[in-house]
Each structure stands twice: as C-alpha cells, then as structure tokens.
Structure 1
Amino acid sequence: MIPQLKKLLEWNLLSYNKDSYALTPTGEAIVDNMEKLLMSLDVHENNMDYWIDHDLSPIPKELLYRIGELGECEVLEPNLPSIFEQQEEMLKRINGSSHISTFISIYHPSYLLPYSSFLDQGVDVSVIMTDQVYNIFKDDTHSQIDGPFSENSLSQSLKKEYEKEIGILLNGGNSDISIYKDRTKPVSITVSDQCMSFSLLDKNGRCTNRIILSSEPTAIKWGEELFNYYKSRSEILSD
C-alpha cells in the first residue's frame, strides 16, 4: 500500500502526522462524492430495467443526482388477476403513518377513497392533483346516474357513499388540496413516515403501473423533497 499512500500524499488527498494518515478536506470531498456515486450505481443496477424504460425528466436534476438515497428500493408490479393488489400493498405500507402526501395525475375513482379513512384516524393528508384530475373528480361527484341503473337503489347508495368519501377528503380539517397545472409531472408520488413511492411514464409516454418503493429514511426524505418540489409549483385549492 505504500506506493498508493505516497501518491495520495502527493495529490494532497492524504495528510501524514505522527505515524497517522488522515484525509485532507479535498480527500474528504472526493470520498463523499465517490460514496454518492457508488450508491447511485447500486440503485441503477438493482432496478436497471425500470430506469432504462422510464422517462426520468420529471425528477429535478438536484434529486436525480441524489438518486442513490433511495437505497434498497423495489419495483412493485400489478398482478393481472388482481388489478387492485398493488394499491392494497401500498395501503399496507403506509398504514399507521402520522402524515401522508400524495400526487395524483391519472384518474381512477378508487385512488382517493382510502384517504378519507386515514383522515378519520387523525392522519394529516396532503394531496396534489392535476387540474384535469380534479375536474373529473368534481364532475363525478355532481353527475347523475343515467340509464337502466338510475333507478337502482344500490347504484344510488354507492354513488352517495362515493360522494361522501370524496367530500371528506376535499373538505376535511386535516387535509389540504393543491392543484398542479404544469405540463411536466410524474404519474404519482406517495410519501409517509413509513415509506415513499413514485411511478413514471415510460419513454413512449405510456403508464406502466410499475412503482418504485423504498422504506429507508433517506428515501423518505428524498420523496418528501420530490413531493414538495411539485407542491411549491401548485396552487392551494380555495373553497
């Protein structure tokens, strides 16, 4: 190791004093950057198919440079026989959280329903929706049931329950809703004190329903910064 140590001393990356070697400030900076590089390479290598196939442009550069903070993350893929299995798994992961933040840019009637039960438990819920998604939810809660189901008591009951649950979220004291109108957006982000997840469109602009998920503290902090990045570019929904 002596020749290598001599080189590091010559390059001012190591200092020597009283038979002891230590990193210089320059050496510490390089090691710190090297650690971040190795972390980023690990994240990329462990889920290479996802990163290759998906459009990463919605992630701001400062967070993309810190992608290694996701640590041990996994890809959740929907199981075709049970299309809601993926959402059920996510709900299990965030159960017991004190706060939940979510960004919704693709409409599905079931996406917002679980959050009303979290509000009932005293959980703070923060939601960002695109203006297109918000308008669809708003129209859904004011639309009439037409056709052969208009006289069906079960259909009417389900619609009333749906309107009630959405109303709890939109008007709940522990919730805040923001509307995002910019064109650049991820498909979804969900962050709690238990875990974080996000999904992106593929490089052809299609939704793949594949979700990156991690429960590591550094990943949760990273996810909170990503969510807040979009929240700072959104408008709080006024009554």
Structure 2
Amino acid sequence: MIVKNTGVSIILNLRKRGFRNVELAKMLGVSRALISQHVQKLQELGLVDKGREINLTNSGRIIAEQIHLVNHNLDFLKKDPEFWNRHDLTGIPLHLLFRISELECCEVATSDNELFPYISRFFEMISDNDPIKMITCILLPFNFSLKRIDEAIISESLLEKVSNYGRIYLMKNPRIFCLISDNAFCMSLPKLSGELDTKAGLISCDASAVRWGKELFEYLKLNSQSANFSSHP
C-alpha cells in the first residue's frame, strides 16, 4: 500500500459494506477511540456517514476506488519496475495508464536476438479467422499474414509503403507497436531514447489485457484520420 494509515484503512474496508466502530477496531487492530477519532475526521471531509454503521458517502466511494486503484497499480508495477522505468509511456493515453494494472497477467517476453519475440506466440493464441487490429510506428521487418489485419493505425510516414492491410488510419506518430485480437494482446513500447524496443514486449491472452488493448486502439482511432488509398496508387 503506497499510503497506509488508519483513515485510509477505514475507507478501504468500507468499500464493500458498512461496519460498526467495534468491528473496524477489531479488523484493524486498533482501539475504538482511535477509530472514532478518524471517523470524525472522515465525516468532516464528507467521506463517511455515521449511523448504526459507518458507511461511505458517494464522495467516499470515489476516493476509496481511487486509493484501491493506486495500490493495485503499485503492486503491479513493482513486479517489474525495470521494464516500466526504461520505456517511454507517452504513447499510452492517461486514462489507460491509470488502469495499467489491467495488464497484470501479461508476460514480459524478451530476446537478445529475435525481433518482437512474442509475435509467433500471439498467432498461436488465436484462431485462423480472428480479425486483428494493429498499431504500429514502424514498417515491420517481416511478413506475418498481413491479410489478417482488419484495421491498422500507422504512422503517416508509412502510408506510401503499405496497402495490404484492411482499414487504415493515420497518426503522426503512434509511438507504440501493438496487436489485438479477440483472444490475445501484445505490445512493444519505445525505449527512453525514442526507438521502439523490438527485443522486449508484453503478451497475454487474458481478457482484461485484451479489453485494455481494444480500448487503446479505439481511443487512438478516434484521434486518427482515415486513409484513402484512391489518392495513393
């Protein structure tokens, strides 16, 4: 827990239901007098109501969920701080960074020699008919069933070099590489130096990671421009 005190612990324990003073004191291993002191402060802040039981107000529920999310993100990030601290995360919109712990089931795949070491595994996780969404800031150095790309968000500089994807959307610089299907997700991020890290990335078939990846794609698509190949023979 990034912040730990009695007031925060009371808020987190009230996330699911209300409790009486004596129950909170027993759960937290503190005196009833200390619980009463902190509950009074929380009441003054408009975060709890006190009747027969102590319950969160609507404001309290918002704060409780934010604290819970921060703690969940911290638990996730400290599992591999080196990976997250040596990459540039500016290509990920802020609202998805706040939910980065939804990628907790992702594996960090690395290789000293192989480019995008998770690509083959991604295709093993999906069926032959699964449509694929792609986000890329580089021209890929290999061909991997390009006809299966249903939608792609690419850098504007790549438009003249690709024509065999499905629907294409243009961004100035997506600063990311990502593949998303209904059953799998993988992603590479730029290094702090700016170049895309092609030797390490995330991969998962977890539903939360797939959902996170789809939200990333749809958000970037809304901020992209549809390409018209009729003007690019």
Same structural fold, with TM-score higher than 0.5 when normalized by the shorter chain: yes
1:7 paired with 2:41, answer: no
Structure 2 distance, partners of 1:67, 1:85, is 22
Aligned to 2:145: 114
Give 1:132's match in structure 2, choosing from 141, 152, 157: 157
Aligned to 1:176: 167
Structure 2 distance, partners of 1:27, 1:135, is 53
State the Cα deviation string for residues 130-181 of structure 1 (Å, max 9, x = none). Answer: 232232346xxxxxxxxxxxxxxxxxxxxxxxxxxx4xx4xxxxx312232x
TM-score normalised to structure 1 length: 0.70
RCO greater where, 1 or 2, for CA within 8 Å and sep 6 or more? 1
Structure 2 distance, partners of 1:99, 1:3, is 60
Q: 3-state DSSP class of the match of 1:179?
A: strand
Q: Are the structure 2 counterparts of residues 115 and 27 from structure 1 closer, same or farther at C-alpha, using a change threshold of 3 Å?
A: same
Give 2:182's match in structure 1, choosing from 193, 212, 226: 193
Q: 3-state DSSP class of the match of 1:54?
A: coil
Q: Are the structure 2 counterparts of residues 29 and 105 from structure 1 closer, same or farther at C-alpha, using a change threshold of 3 Å?
A: same
Structure 2 distance, partners of 1:214, 1:85, is 13
Aligned pairs, number: 194
Maintained 8 Å contact 2:132/2:151: yes
Displacement of 1:188 after TM fit?
A: 0.5
Q: Are the structure 2 counterparts of residues 189 and 85 from structure 1 closer, same or farther at C-alpha, using a change threshold of 3 Å?
A: closer
Aligned to 2:221: 231
Structure 2 spans left out of the alignment, 5+ residues = 1-24, 26-31
Larger helix fraction of residues? 1
Structure 2 distance, partners of 1:84, 1:61, is 25
Q: How does 1:50-129 map to 2 (within 5 A)?
A: 50-78=83-111, 80=113, 83=115, 85-95=117-127, 98-111=130-143, 113-116=144-147, 118=148, 125-129=150-154
Identity %: 23
Structure 1 spans left out of the alignment, 5+ residues = 120-124, 139-165, 170-174
Q: Are the structure 2 counterparts of residues 189 and 7 from structure 1 closer, same or farther at C-alpha, using a change threshold of 3 Å?
A: farther
- The one-letter code sitting in structure 2 at the alignment partner of 1:230 is L
Q: 3-state DSSP class of the match of 1:46?
A: coil
Q: 3-state DSSP class of the match of 2:178?
A: strand
| 4+ aligned runs moved over 6 Å, structure 1 | none
Displacement of 1:53 after TM fit?
A: 0.3
